[in-house]
Amino acid sequence: MRIWTAASLAALTLTAGTVYTVSAVRADGLSAAAAGSAAVHASAAAQAAAASSTAADKIVDQYNALLKKRGQLPQAFAFLNKHIGDVSKRQATLMTLHLENAVKKALPAMEARFNSTSVQTAIFKVYRFGDDFADVIKRTKDRKLIALLKEADASGYKLETAEGMFFPIVDYTKFRKYGAYVNPDIKAYFDIMAVESEKAVAKDAALTIGYQELVNRTLSMEQFVAKYPYSNRAAQVKTLFDRYKLFTFYGLSNTPLFDYNTKTIMPNAKKGYTLVLQYNKPSSSEYLTLLQKFMKLLKDENYKLTAKVEAFRSANIPIE
């Protein structure tokens, strides 16, 4: 077998009079042909991205048009559930916030429908403590009520009761499932609101949760405001945080922090706050630091609502 050297090949080329083209090599090591191929692929990728962006924009436009139509909340939820993975994180975030706005905007109208005597009576006939829409639907034979409850459920609401009345509230567990598709602050916001909608902090002018949970919820809100001060939902969480602070230091009419007769702090509150302060680092939180100072003062005042305690609350947690 004959071995061709580079010199032999060069000579053969010249002798034969045939011109052989050798691919130029670029500084990055790619041949011109390879670079051309890469450019084609890059162009194709850019076109695909542009097509994807256009498709996502169309999805958003269709969705926004749907939200503008009255009575289309069930369809909006279904549309978002189907397409939220087909848009960017920024678009998904805006879509969920727009849906929340629409659900809250439509709430008064839905409440008015629940306020009718016929609806209240029909629910009362079959309602059992802790029932949700599905439970009531299973027990009633009232077709109009079934239709209303199914619509309310699909529209983003859940059943709540207080003072002998039944009414819808926003069901944030329906929004929490979008957490993987939205920005971190909005995921955290939906998590906070879902806890609130699953079990309200207060009902019938009384706390419905324990004192430790009250503090833990308040802490999560404080942390949200500190971490996401410019979030689209920072103001809403701040408002909720301020409300929880009042509950922490004052209680409510039917669950006051201090006994109306003895002026002594409620035993469960004393125990709950003491445990929370033991298992957390007060210096890591302005709220906990304030609670620590409050409990220290109470200890000095034999855990009674004295003039000094009143002055502390008025100065640090005023009721506006």
- What are the tens digits of pLDDT across the range 227-286? 999 999 999 999 999 999 999 999 999 999 999 999 999 999 999 999 999 999 999 999
What is the number of residues in the chain?
320
Could you read off the pLDDT of 71-99 as tens digits, one per residue?
999 999 999 999 999 999 999 999 999 99
Please report which confidence band the pLDDT of residue 14 belongs to, taking 50, 70 and 90 as the band edges. very low
Produce one character per residue of 45-66: b if its CB has 16 or more CB atoms within 10 Å, e if not.
eeeeeeeeeeebeebbeebeeb
Contacts of 62 (CB under 8 A, 6+ apart): 79
pTM for this prediction: 0.82
Res 320: pLDDT: 78
Using the structure block, give the residue that is written with the tokens 């906990």.
288
Band the pLDDT of 53: cuts 50, 70, 90: confident
* Domain range annotation of the chain: 66-182, 199-320
* pLDDT for residue 67 is more than 90: yes
